[in-house]
């Protein structure tokens, strides 16, 4: 398999771009299901408040911009991790210590106040729109950026553990998508967040000792 660690410098920008394109497409597939309730909430405000079709487009673009930015960031991280030998060409960790660190970080994050705050935001899109309302296209951009930032802060931990199973493994990333989607459901999510944290921490210990 081609190794980025031995790639000529002239080839590195194209390799980085390929990783970015992969992550951007994957972000769209993974975040699409979680974004549906948000757009439905804004659509409701088109008739019940002063929402507009232009504002709806703005929300979508703002949200998209945040996740494309995150895709660029995580693609660069993967590029560097492959070059340093911590990931293989499929985006999978080759070090049990690195895998354990990723799982432990993601698990501990499940118990933080920031995770709780971001989940509360994502679980109540209508309330968040009303609390941070801006009219028109520019307002939609602002609210999309605002919501997308909370979404990234909510989901980054479950995203980076993709490096444990491999970012090219569709089953693995599909499982992460399912967890992120369920976490944002008001009733189910409240029962899932902490147990998921315990499971990730236990998994990290198992990676080290087994």
Average pLDDT over residues 168-188: 85
pLDDT at 202 over 70: yes
| Model confidence pLDDT, tens digit, residues 95-146 | 999 999 999 999 999 999 999 999 999 899 888 888 989 989 999 999 999 9
The confidence score (pLDDT) of residue 72 equals 94
pLDDT at 46 over 60: yes
pLDDT at 200 over 50: yes
Domain boundaries defined on the chain: 10-209
Q: Are the CB atoms for 118 and 35 separated by under 8 Å?
A: no
Average pLDDT over residues 25-31: 85
How large is the C-alpha radius of gyration of the chain?
Answer: 18
Q: Are the CB atoms for 132 and 143 separated by under 8 Å?
A: yes
Which has more confidence, 9 or 155? 155
49 pLDDT tier (thresholds 50, 70, 90): confident
* Spatial distance between the Cα atoms of 14 and 26, rounded to a whole number of angstroms: 18
Q: Are the CB atoms for 119 and 193 separated by under 8 Å?
A: yes
pLDDT at 12 over 80: no
199 pLDDT tier (thresholds 50, 70, 90): very high
Average pLDDT over residues 171-196: 88
The confidence score (pLDDT) of residue 19 equals 92
* Spatial distance between the Cα atoms of 185 and 198, rounded to a whole number of angstroms: 19
Q: Are the CB atoms for 118 and 149 separated by under 8 Å?
A: no
What is the percentage of the chain residues whose pLDDT exceeds 90?
53
| DSSP-assigned beta bridge partners for residue 93 | 87
HEC string for the chain: CCCHHHCCHHHHHHHHHHHHHHHHHHHHHHHHHHHHHHHHHHHHHHHHCCCCHHHHHHHHHHHHHHHHHHHHHHHHHHHHHHHCCCECCCCCECCHHHHHHHHHHHHHHCCCHHHHHHHHHHHCHHHHHHHCCCCHHHHHHHHHHHHHHHHHHHHHHHHHCHHHHCCCCHHHHHHHHHHHHHHCCHHHHHHHHHHHHHHHHHHHHHHHHC
The per-residue pLDDT of the chain, averaged, comes to 88
10 pLDDT tier (thresholds 50, 70, 90): very low
The confidence score (pLDDT) of residue 1 equals 42
């Amino acid at each position: 398999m081609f190794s980025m660690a031995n790639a000529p410098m002239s080839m590195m920008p194209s390799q980085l771009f390929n990783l970015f394109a992969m992550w951007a497409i994957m972000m769209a597939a993974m975040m699409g299901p979680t974004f549906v309730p948000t757009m439905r909430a804004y659509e409701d405000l088109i008739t019940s408040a002063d929402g507009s079709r232009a504002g709806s487009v703005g929300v979508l673009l703002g949200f998209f911009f945040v996740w494309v930015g995150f895709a660029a960031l995580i693609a660069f991280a993967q590029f560097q991790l492959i070059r340093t030998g911590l990931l293989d060409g499929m985006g999978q960790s080759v070090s049990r210590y690195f895998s354990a660190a990723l799982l432990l970080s993601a698990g501990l994050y499940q118990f933080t106040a920031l995770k709780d705050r971001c989940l509360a935001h994502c679980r109540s899109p209508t309330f968040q729109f009303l609390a941070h309302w801006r009219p028109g296209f520019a307002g939609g951009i602002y609210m999309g950026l605002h919501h997308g930032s909370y979404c990234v802060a909510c989901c980054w931990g479950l995203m980076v553990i993709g490096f444990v199973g491999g970012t090219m493994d569709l089953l693995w990333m599909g499982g992460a998508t399912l967890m992120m989607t369920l976490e944002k459901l008001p009733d189910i999510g409240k029962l899932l967040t902490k147990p998921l944290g315990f499971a990730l921490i236990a998994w990290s210990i198992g990676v080290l000792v087994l």
